[in-house]
Amino acid sequence: MKLRLILGDQLSFSMSSLADATKGDLILMCEVRQEATYVKHHKKKIVFVFSAMRHFAQSLAARGMDVNYVRYDDPQNSGSLYGEVARLTDQHDISEVIVTSPGEYRLLAEMEQWADALNLLVTIRPDDRFLCGKDEFAAWAKGRKQLRMEYFYREMRRKHGVLMRGDEPIGGQWNYDADNRKPPPKGLEIPDPFFADIDEITHEVTTLVTEQFSDHFGEIEPFHFAVTRDGALQALDKFVDERLPLFGDYQDAMIQDEPWMYHSHIGLYLNCGLLTPLECIARAETAYHDGHAPLNAVEGFIRQILGWREYVRGIYWLKMPDYKAMNVLGAKRPLPDFYWTADTHMNCMRQCIAETRQNAYAHHIQRLMVLGNFALIAGLDPEQVNDWYLLVYADAYEWVELPNVSGMILFADGGIMGSKPYAASGAYINKMSNYCSSCRYKPTVKNGPKACPFNYLYWDFIDRNASRLRGNPRMAFMYKSLDRMAEEKRHAIRTDTDRFFKEIGSDEKG
Ligand code: FAD
Ligand code: DLZ
Ligand code: SF4
């Protein structure tokens, strides 16, 4: 008999590990301490993963499969994936263990040892849920000086025939990002997010997580994520109907107490297998052809999935394991406590952290331009920042989290992903949100106790990293401005920066 292991983010009938499954095979799914605590995941994320796993196991059983499902509180539970595989291979006559390649390097490296440890054939099959295989990405990257997402994305558009008319992009342009930077107008009405019904399984898991993971970050209630494929499809439909038409216009906008904006909130479903990338892309493309959503919205949304999502996964597998240790800016300031408590006078940070704690979600621009931008200009330690992002979001797995954090926000990879650091002062947040009007600081004030910390931290970052970034042609303008700055002003920046870090109890240099 063959043993087929299904992980918590492999919840699709089309998994390569299930491709040739027959009735005599045994399917193993297990809730294990190893996966729930290698970082202390947000409670809501654990409820989501465990409940989705239990529902998927039920639907496999309904198809006549023999599923061995190990619950977290099962007294026999060894606590690790290997331990559970070994337990079953001891009990049954197993000829082969089959698993689809996991999404994280640490687990793949571990699984590669299993055959020797078990003295058994262990087959690790490729994960073909992605639209660009690891080898295909490596072939695209080979010989290129720069691995820019835009060129990768165009190839993916051509390969999959998405938004194409013959060889040309529909509308004549590949990318409509320039139309997608509208600040939020006053009185913008945001539709409610998708609310799934809570069933007995989710209820049980909620009790388990409340009891077993009380020291983990985040709130469980209200829990409204879908935990089945049907639910995830309903969430996708709701997005396409109600949000997609304005997705592009307000993609970068942030509003006080509006965590969901016009984003899709489907990342968690895509990443655990409840939705497939091509079906999300196809729904959006149909909405364009039906005249329901404009091209800037549909192209913008498709670019995130067909472009960014595939591209970051490609980078991850191309550059691991070295990528994880990269820290070219030498940043080493510890993560301030307010990333956990939201207890900060910076209203933008307070909003984004409190919403993250409540929802296990923040939208892209909050992750990038508020939380991420602060981490960059404050010089926070990449390892600690990566751990934080990996545990706080329901859609977080290392293959997607790490390149976004070490590459996109921190420039810790020295420019593998982006040609320059995405640093910005308070003016950007003031333009794209209404956060500043409820803040004790003023975005237009550059120095002194009333100044927005993003303003002086930005210049301190430029100054502090001069030896590493001055040679970057895309930073030339910044260094010209710095060179023209009066010594008095530079002194004020340093004084404000020192005072700020003292005030937040983080005066060790970054
Ligand atoms: P939408 O804004 O509606 O976008 C649609 C989909 O496009 C997303 O669901 C996602 O699948 C994909 N997508 C969009 N941007 C990216 C991107 N940069 N990289 C990969 N896929 C993308 N995404 C994750 O899935 N997991 C993470 O752990 C994660 N960590 C991030 C950390 C940082 C610092 C940053 C800047 C971005 C991160 N992202 C991550 C990317 C992006 O922010 C989320 O995918 C998105 O916010 C999820 O919300 P949504 O489903 O409403 O996305
Ligand atoms: C995220 C997660 C959690 C919280 N728990 C489990 C689990 O108990 N069992 C399991 O098989 N998978 C879980 N996962 C998903 C894994 O962490 C994921 O498969 C790896 O990180 C590889 O992407
Ligand atoms: Fe954030 Fe600065 Fe605006 Fe306050 S003033 S909300 S700290 S950008």
Q: Is residue 455 part of a domain?
A: yes
Q: Is residue 273 part of a domain?
A: yes
The pLDDT score that the predictor gives to residue 236 is: 98
| Residue that finishes a domain, picked among 108, 125, 142 | 125
pLDDT tens per residue across span 322-377: 999 999 999 999 999 999 999 999 999 999 999 999 999 999 999 999 999 999 99
pLDDT tens per residue across span 131-188: 999 999 999 999 999 999 999 999 999 999 999 999 999 999 999 988 888 998 998 9
Q: How many domains does the chain have?
A: 3
Residues 14 and 70 grouped into a single domain: yes
Q: Is residue 324 part of a domain?
A: no
pLDDT tens per residue across span 378-436: 999 999 999 999 999 999 999 999 999 999 999 999 999 999 999 999 999 999 999 99
Cα–Cα distance, 172 to 105 (Å, whole number): 39
Select from 448, 402, 456 the least CA-distant residue to 427.
Answer: 456
285: which 2 tokens?
Answer: 């493309």
Closest C-alpha to ligand 3, atom 6: 436
Residue 498 CA to ligand 3 center (angstroms) comes to 18
Q: Is residue 209 part of a domain?
A: no
Residues 495 and 354 grouped into a single domain: yes
Q: Is the CB of 205 within 6 Å of ligand 2?
A: no
Residues 144 and 267 grouped into a single domain: yes
Q: Is the CB of 436 within 6 Å of ligand 3?
A: yes
| Residue that finishes a domain, picked among 99, 125, 151 | 125
Q: What is the DSSP secondary-structure string of 149-198?
A: HHHHHHHHHHHHT-SEETTEETTS-S--GGGS-PPPPTT---PPPP-PPP
Environment class of residue 167 by beta-carbon count within 10 Å: exposed (0-12), middle (13-18) or buried (19+)? exposed
Ligand 2 atom nearest residue 45's Cα:
4
Select from 353, 346, 372 the least CA-distant residue to 438.
Answer: 346
The pLDDT score that the predictor gives to residue 507 is: 63
Closest C-alpha to ligand 2, atom 12: 8
What value does the mean pLDDT take over residues 215-220? 98
Cα–Cα distance, 252 to 436 (Å, whole number): 16
Q: Is residue 275 part of a domain?
A: yes
Q: Is the CB of 49 within 6 Å of ligand 2?
A: yes
Residue 266 CA to ligand 3 center (angstroms) comes to 29
Q: How confident is the model at residue 510 (pLDDT cuts 50, 70, 90)?
A: very low
Residue 309 CA to ligand 1 center (angstroms) comes to 7
What value does the mean pLDDT take over residues 234-262? 97
Residues 102 and 138 grouped into a single domain: no
Select from 196, 263, 262, 278 the least CA-distant residue to 230.
Answer: 196
What value does the mean pLDDT take over residues 58-68? 96
Q: Is residue 208 part of a domain?
A: no
The pLDDT score that the predictor gives to residue 466 is: 96
Residues 289 and 185 grouped into a single domain: yes
Residues 50 and 158 grouped into a single domain: no
Average pLDDT, the chain: 96
* Pairing outcome for strands 96-100 and 121-125: parallel
The pLDDT score that the predictor gives to residue 181 is: 85
Nearest bound ligand to CA 451? 3
Cα–Cα distance, 409 to 319 (Å, whole number): 17
Residue 414 CA to ligand 2 center (angstroms) comes to 30
Whether the per-residue pLDDT at 450 is higher than 70: the answer is yes
Residues 315 and 461 grouped into a single domain: no
Residues 253 and 148 grouped into a single domain: yes
* Pairing outcome for strands 164-165 and 168-169: antiparallel
Ligand 1 atom nearest residue 405's Cα:
34
Q: Which residues line ligand 1 (CB under 6 A)?
A: 263-267, 270-271, 304-305, 308-309, 312, 363-364, 367-368, 372, 389, 393, 395-396, 400-401, 404-405, 408-409
The pLDDT score that the predictor gives to residue 442 is: 98
pLDDT tens per residue across span 474-494: 999 999 999 999 999 999 999
Residues 462 and 370 grouped into a single domain: yes
Whether the per-residue pLDDT at 508 is higher than 80: the answer is no
Residues 142 and 98 grouped into a single domain: no
Q: Is residue 19 part of a domain?
A: yes
CATH code of 493's domain: 1.10.579.10
Closest C-alpha to ligand 2, atom 11: 7
The pLDDT score that the predictor gives to residue 144 is: 95
| Residue that finishes a domain, picked among 73, 96, 125 | 125
The pLDDT score that the predictor gives to residue 300 is: 97
CATH code of 102's domain: 3.40.50.620
User: Which residue range(s) make up the domain with 45?
Assistant: 2-125
Question: What is the C-alpha R_g of the chain?
Answer: 24
The pLDDT score that the predictor gives to residue 172 is: 96
Residues 419 and 478 grouped into a single domain: yes
**H or E element in which residue 237 lies:** helix 229-242
pTM for the structure as a whole? 0.97
Residues 12 and 149 grouped into a single domain: no
Strand partners, 100: 125
Closest C-alpha to ligand 3, atom 7: 346
Candidates 49, 60, 80, 216: which one to mutate for ligand 2, based on the most atoms within 8 Å of Cβ? 49
Q: How confident is the model at residue 506 (pLDDT cuts 50, 70, 90)?
A: confident
239: which 2 tokens?
Answer: 């997005």
CATH code of 172's domain: 1.25.40.80
